[in-house]
Each structure stands twice: as structure tokens, then as C-alpha cells.
Amino acid sequence: MPDPFLIRLATRSDEDDIRRLIELSVRILQKDDYTPAQIEGALGHALGLDTQLIDDGTYFAARPASDPSLIIGCGGWSFRKTLFGSDHGPHRHAGLLDPATEPAKIRAIFVHPDWARRGLGTFILKHCEDAAQRAGFRTLEMGSTLTGVPLYTLKGYVRREDVAVSLPNGEVLPVVHMVKTIKSSSS
């Protein structure tokens, strides 16, 4: 059976579609974990598109094989120090990571609500993990939303600490710092 999803590098021309996808994903899929005020404060700040990932060639757009014109998911990884957040997010640091001693960052995985619970998040995550591994990284970390913790735990990520992210509207967004060691291809 062919894979139901396709994935490609995201481009700057995808920005508007990706931003709309992220907003819809957050508003619908995260409404049981965050209050409306937390969601409003987080969109475009702690939760959103980081165009540096597109420029670095480490952010991806996922599409259904049945209609490749639609973007139904997105996500990426990074060789930079920023753990999470949009272009206007907190704690941005564009410094480069050392693959031998520092973990790559898994960043901004979002799925269209109509495509949730069909394996798309897992598909994007695996693509990002494989790309980071090819770049020489052996460990990964992320700032996960509460909504993502069950999936990432299932995929081998371990909770390191809970982080309270201050938002521009005075709210605080709980995020979970998670880590994973990648098994080498020789293991």
C-alpha cells in the first residue's frame, strides 16, 4: 500500500498556508489543554512559524498523496539553539549547535485537525528525526505542547522539565522540555 502522505521542503511561498494551518491546528487540537487566553497569547509567539527553519532548509510541508496541492501538516528540525517559538517567540538564539555534543531541536510540528489521528504527526516526526540523524546529531530535544506529550512519549522522548513560557498578553503557557537519544544505524 503506498504511503498516504508526501513531504517536501517548505518554501517562503508556503508561509501563509503554514501560518493558517498552525493557527487552525492550535485553536482546534489544543483547546482541551490550553485556555482561549493562552492560545491567543501563544499564537505567533511561542506557537508559530519560525521562518529561519525554512531558510535553513529544515522545515517541511506534508501533503496527502491524494491531493498534493494541500498542506495538511508541517514540522521541522533545527541545527540552531532556539528550542521553540515563532519568528517573534521567546529565547531566540540563532547560534549553531555542535552535533557531537548538543541535541538537534525538533520544531513546530502541527497537523490540520481534519487529518489528526491518522499517523501524520508520526510521519513528520520521523522525517525530521531522520534528517537530523543524517546531519550527524545523536540526540534530539523539543519544547512540546501539552497536547503533543503523549505522542512524543510514545515515540521515545522523555520529559526533562516543565517550562512556564510568559506570553505577551500576560498569560503563561506550559511547555514540556523533552529529549531523545537516536539509535545509530549500526545498533
**Domain boundary assignment for the chain:** 5-181
Share of the chain above pLDDT 70, in %: 96
Q: Are strands 104-111 and 139-144 parallel, antiparallel or unpaired?
A: parallel
Residue 28, C-alpha cell as written in the block: 482546534
pLDDT exceeds 90 at position 91: no
The DSSP annotation for 118-176 comes to: SSHHHHHHHHHHHHHHHTT--EEEEEE-TTTHHHHHHTT-EEEEEEEEE-TTS-EEEEE
Rg of the chain on CA atoms, in Å: 15
Where does the pLDDT of residue 89 fall: very low under 50, low under 70, confident under 90, or very high at 90 and above?
confident
Q: What CATH number is given for 5-181 in this structure?
A: 3.40.630.30
pLDDT digits (tens, 9 = 90+) for 119-156: 999 999 999 999 999 999 999 999 999 999 999 999 99
How far are the Cα atoms of 15, 119, 155 from residue 122, in angstroms, in the given order?
A: 22, 5, 8
* Span of 5-9, 90-94, 163-167 with lowest mean pLDDT: 90-94
In whole angstroms, what is the distance from residue 97 CA to residue 75 CA?
19
pLDDT exceeds 70 at position 2: no
Looking at residue 108, its pLDDT comes to: 96
pLDDT exceeds 70 at position 184: no
> What is the rounded average pLDDT of the residues 89-106?
93
pLDDT exceeds 50 at position 103: yes
In whole angstroms, what is the distance from residue 135 CA to residue 60 CA?
16
Looking at residue 183, its pLDDT comes to: 76
Per the prediction, the chain carries an average pLDDT of 95
pLDDT digits (tens, 9 = 90+) for 145-154: 999 999 999 9
